[in-house]
Structure 1
Amino acid sequence: MPDTVFTHARIFDGFRYLGEVGDVLVRDGRVVSLGGSDRTPGAEVVDCGGTLLLPGFTDAHVHPVQGGLERLTCDLSDLPIDRAAYLAHVGAYAAAHPDLAWVQGGGWAMAAFPGGLPTAADLDTVVVDRPAALVNRDHHGMWVNTRALAAAGITRDTPDPADGRIERDPAGEPTGVLHEGAMDLVLSVMPVAGPDELYAGLLEGQRHLLSMGVTGWQDAIVGAYAGMQDTGPTYRRAAENGDLVASVVGALWWERERGLEQLPELVEKREAYSHGRFRATSVKIMQDGVAENGTAALVEPYLDRCGHATSNSGLSFVSPAVLPDIVAALDAEGFQVHFHGLGDRGVREALDALVGTEPLRRHQVAHLQLVHPDDVPRFAELQVVANIQALWACYDEQMVDLTIPFLGEERAARQYPFGDLRRAGARLVAGSDWPVSTPNPLEAVHVAVHRMAYGEPGPAGSEPFLPDQALSLEVALAAYTSGSAWVCHRDDAGMVKPGAVADLVLLDRDPFDEPDGIGAARVERVWIDGTGIL
């Protein structure tokens, strides 16, 4: 394998912006030197033209198989956030696929519908001949038509499951949206993607992530979840076949309706699934839901539209009484624990359970929309990693219409406290949660720096959202490179320095020259282990 020499590059080394430092030499898949001038005869020379060369991004919280499958089905994620656009696309997809027993897909945004709630009656206008089921962008809700409700036997007499809710009209009739665990009622009767479909989904997900410069990730759910078969064998197959070119950690799914009896099964899965570039060394615990549908666990109750306290404080999917024992057992078995913690009570329950655990495991809590001020310093004190999804920290329609009114002024003013966490000494890593939101790290970094979305209309792209919580460009890029590689236990990745793995990304510009246009930057080329793949 010939050496590769990168010339005329400006360098972000995973921690700091170095500017132009001279040649970067790569040999046998690793960075050898920065700033030297010796070139081996026959070396490949890459002229970077004064743009930015940085480590490959690592997405610390993503769902590539689901994202890939959605791209291969009825994908609404790239459409305008608009009811009519969604219905037209679903109708066209159904017409183009008359052989499908169900119309499946997802990617719709709650902000496209009054109160965040589409209806079965709407969906019936474009799919009347068979069931249709479409998960929303955050995968915490599902839009179904009347045929799907009937197929699942959902009527006004169907009780809400303990971990979910059936949306109903004033007369008690189901209206076509299922929240959280209520989705399982439909998922249990839908066609399940088979092994080859899952494999195709993984490869499409990987292709899409690589195009964004993502060279490694942590899959935040590996297991049977939301109607999908366990994706561990999918990763094992791709690793054995050499089709998995990214470096991946899988977070095995903790089945919240079960207890410690599943621990030996997780240990067996870790051994059975881990191979080559895939390691099943983390465990995902979803502690609460999301704020938009009232299932994120809050210390104080949600408000109604008039600003009065309700009786709803969200859901704790795992009892906080047993959570510490679960976490201690996982920690003792050498697993990293990866929490979904979105509401301030959900975050607190996760932190409480992590007291006394081994910092070397690099346990983490993801999402962190609300962190109680008393809990902000606990991340550093407990050495718990703060896994941020920066793209959500802006004034988009979902935030304005479906979140802020139900949190109230005080809580709404402390959402996504990235700056406070950083100032309190927390270690930050970053992920996209794709297909919940775009996997483009540069768009997420743009929001982290500006607290505005790049190129979005309205307040989302023009009015900073709690700007005191913004991060510097160096800190945001570090979270998405060296930070996220570190939380995946890749201590020799996410950096451009001698000895580091040569997973590299070349951009079409230097965002440090154009900080207002970070989100406009695009990936030009990608290398993994020094080999160009894009």
Structure 2
Amino acid sequence: MKTREISFKTKASCTLAILSATCLPFKDLYADTLLVNANGYTLQHQGQLKRFDTLVFDDHGKVLAVGKASELRRKYSSAKIVDVAGKTVLPGLIDAHGHVFGLGTAVNRLSLRATNNLAQAQAAIADYAKKYPQQQWILGGEWNQAIWDLGRFPMAAEIDVVVKDKPVWLRRVDGHAGWANSAAMKLAGITRDSVDPQGGKIERDAKGEPTGILVDNAMSLMERVLPTQNDSELRLALDAAMAELRSVGLTSVHDAGVGKEEDLLMREYAANGKLTTRVYGMIAGVTGYFDEVSKQKPLITYADDKYALRAVKLYSDGALGSRGAALLAPYSDAPQTKGLLFVPDAEMQAMVKKAANLGYQVNVHAIGDAGNRQVIESLAQINQDAKTRSLRHRIEHAQVLTLDDIPRLKSNGIIPSMQPTHATSDMNMAEDRVGKQRLKGAYAWRTFLKQGSRIACGSDFPVENSNPFWGLYSAISRQDFEQKPKGGWHPEQAMTRLEAFRCFTLDAAYAAHQENIIGSLEQGKWADFIVIDRDIFKVPVKDIHATQVLQTWQAGKQVYQKN
């Protein structure tokens, strides 16, 4: 810590004395920045909410003190002053599950998220094709046939009528099914003789012909023929993602599926100060690049904690909307199917053990109750060893569980990594899929919190919007933006404001082994914080999702200013 010289005479004597004890009483503590007039909120390490009006951080970007101006202004009287004029200040928010390059790539691809019916989707596809005639493929997606109220999946022929001269491949909003036109199906070599891969399904019509819909692992049949992104495109995607994330107040995200090119590029960006949102990376799978990078120890921290690669991402099943989530009993609205497990139990256990034994946290996607049970069984086996249990393994989504399986996450030290906006997006079809009884263990945030589980909240961007205030609103209200349904969808599972705030800050940091460096504004932690336009602890709940981020700061440096 630096000190402030008060006079020329004092400066000379202290220089000679090399800051001897006799000089120190005549010095004031000096810090680079004193943030004042804040309506500040943070969590203390034990989870209690703390109010503050002044934040002090040094020139390295670490918090020195948080408290009252009356206590700190005199102590740090030589600091540079930043006056936020009574605006609300929060620790930077953390998204515990997203896809960084997917977010950046989606910026320039076709989005059908806003379409309300098939006709609108077809019009959007046609318009996009006219706008970007130079593109060899039309890629994108974010469609949702449940909103279109089709009662079925769309078909290749329904793209063909608007675009038939170039391949089209559009992934469903949850990323677990894709919709292709005939040109794309032909390039991929998908015919009536094609075999469903393990953990995947080719949708077929009554005559056995492929309809254009590929579910879960069957999507690989198409994606192996897609043009790969070059280095320039990857950089554009990362730049776009960083711009989006800092603008919505996310100072850290957990990237659920990192490959070699993405890893190397994020290391470069981190080293050069271009990773304006911290990234906690999960390696995609335990083969391929994992075998290469795991020859060294997990990358716990890199470039002043801007990047880490100490986890792996695995999949047990698909998604509820496409009926790929693996259920113990058939779907309520499709009794002919129970969904799909991606791999047999023995293979899941082997993958989990391989990663954990090399010191990696294991984070497994599981949506259905059968998928979740498979993961619980696999993690329970390795968590008998205290060393691997300490890695804080996670279930990503933990969406539909039997009531008997929920306590097993707590007893086995497994973290539920959940996305509040999934509940408000799925409430239009979730009960149709699983029925009232199974819904008791679905999107069950209150049940997890009551048993003492620490929930790590995220969004699954770009599947959902990356804005964390949408997630906070969904967690608290369990309603859409029109405050429907009245009282909230299964409001007994809603979070309080404090709980939601914690799951997007300190508990998300805990899920990445980072609770001692980020997640709250406490002495010694990074000065990652945001300035927003309203007090989310006092405004009506209905207004929380409309919160605007005015400034975002990472390690004491401003990286975003709202125009």
TM-score of the two chains, using structure 1 as the length reference: 0.90
Distance apart, 1:197 and its partner CA: 0.8
Letter of the 1:85 partner, please give it: Q
CA drift of 1:521 comes to 1.3
**Which structure has the bigger radius of gyration?**
2
- Tell me the equivalent position of 2:369: 344
- Of 38, 57, 68, 1:26 maps to 57
Mapped contact 1:269–1:280 kept (Cα < 8 A): no
Instruction: State the match for 2:533 in structure 1.
Output: 508
One-letter amino acid of the counterpart of residue 89, structure 2: L
Q: Residues 217 and 321 (structure 1 numbering): CA distance in 2 closer, same or farther, change over 3 Å?
A: same
Other-structure match for 1:85? 120
Residues 39-69 of structure 1 deviation map (CA, whole Å, 9 limit, x = unaligned): 5456443333444211111111100101110
Question: Is the counterpart of residue 390 in structure 1 residue 416 in structure 2?
Answer: no
Map residues 44-59 of structure 1 onto 2, 5 A cutoff: 44-59=80-95
Distance 1:350 1:237 in 2: 34
Specify which of 300, 306, 323 is matched with residue 294 of structure 1. 323
Per-residue deviation at 1:171?
1.7
Change (3 A) 1:372 1:498: same
1:73 and 1:422 mapped to 2: Cα distance?
38
Does the 8 A contact of 2:298 with 2:310 survive in 1? no
Partner of 1:410: 437
Q: Secondary structure at the match of 2:312?
A: strand
Paired residues of 2:280 and 2:308 also in contact (CA < 8 A): yes
- Counterpart position of 1:477: 501
Residue identity opposite 2:100 in structure 1: P
**Relative to structure 2, which stretch is displaced further, 194-203 or 208-217?**
194-203
The amino acid that maps onto 1:233 is L
2:200 pairs with 1:164:
yes
Q: Does 1:443 align with 2:443?
A: no
Q: In the alignment, is residue 179 of structure 1 matched against residue 215 of structure 2?
A: yes
| 1:439 aligned counterpart, secondary structure | coil
In structure 2, what is the Cα distance between the partners aligned to 1:419 and 1:320? 29
- Residues of 2 paired with 1:102 and 1:139: CA distance? 18
Match of 1:519 among 529, 542, 545: 545
CA distance in 2 between counterparts of 1:181 and 1:431 reads 24
Taking a change above 3 Å as real, the CA distance of residues 48 and 455 of structure 1, as seen in their structure-2 partners, is farther
**Does structure 2 conserve the Cα–Cα contact (< 8 Å) formed by 1:9 and 1:47?**
no
**CA–CA distance in 1 between the matches of 2:293 and 2:403?**
34
Q: Which moved more, 1:353-362 or 1:63-72?
A: 353-362
Q: Distance in 2 between matches of 1:347 and 1:400?
A: 22
Q: Comparing 160-169 with 432-441, which one deviates more in the overlay?
A: 160-169
User: Which residue of the other structure, out of 354, 357, 364, is the alignment partner of 2:379?
Assistant: 354
**Secondary structure in 2 matching 1:282:** strand
Report the Cα distance in structure 2 between the residues aligned to 1:127 and 1:443, rounded to whole angstroms.
35
2:109 maps to which residue? Answer: 73
* Equivalent of residue 244 in structure 1, options 275, 297, 300: 275
Q: Residues 266 and 323 from structure 1, CA distance in 2 versus in 1: closer, same or farther, beyond 3 angstroms?
A: farther
Is contact 1:236-1:274 (8 Å) kept? no
Q: Where do residues 2-13 of structure 1 align in structure 2 (5 Å cutoff)? A: 2-13=32-43
AA aligned to 2:551 is R
- Matches of 1:230 and 1:527, distance apart in 2: 27
Post-superposition CA distance 1:388-438 (Å, at most 9, x none) = 1011113x4x5434x322312211233111100000111111111101101
Contact 1:10 1:510 in 2 (8 A): no
In structure 1, C-alpha distance between the alignment counterparts of 2:493 and 2:145, rounded to whole Å: 25
**Number of residue pairs matched?**
513
Contact between 2:176 and 2:324, CA under 8 Å: does it hold in 1? no
Quote the Cα distance in structure 2 between the aligned partners of 1:380 and 1:342: 18
Q: CA offsets per residue over residues 314-333 of structure 1, 9 Å max, x none? A: 22223212433432332221
Is 1:424 aligned to residue 451 of structure 2?
A: yes
Confirm whether residue 400 of structure 1 aligns to residue 428 of structure 2: yes
Is structure 2 residue 178 aligned with structure 1 residue 142?
A: yes
Deviation at 1:116, TM superposition (A): 5.1
Which residue number in structure 1 is paired with residue 146 of structure 2? 111
Answering whether residue 302 of structure 2 is matched by residue 278 of structure 1, we say no
Counterpart residue number, 1:326 = 351
Identity %: 31
1:219-262 deviations in Å (ceiling 9; x for gaps): 10012xxxxx752223233234432222212111116xx6xx98
TM-score (norm 2): 0.86
Q: Which amino acid aligns with 1:524?
A: L
Q: Which has the higher contact order (CA 8 A, sep 6+)?
A: 1
1:75-116 CA distances to partner (integer Å, 9 max, x unpaired)?
A: 334x24443333222222211211111111222223243135
Paired letter, 1:449: I
> 1:135 Cα deviation (Å)?
1.1
Q: Match of 1:245, as an amino acid? A: T
- Structure 1 counterpart of 2:244, which letter? H
1:98–1:263 Cα change, 3 Å: closer
1:98 match: 133
Which of 270, 292, 299 pairs up with 1:265? 292
| Residues in 1 aligned to 2:537 and 2:370: alpha-carbon distance in whole angstroms | 38
SS at match of 2:294: helix
Contact persistence 1:376–1:424 (CA under 8 A): no
Letter in 2 for 1:486: Y
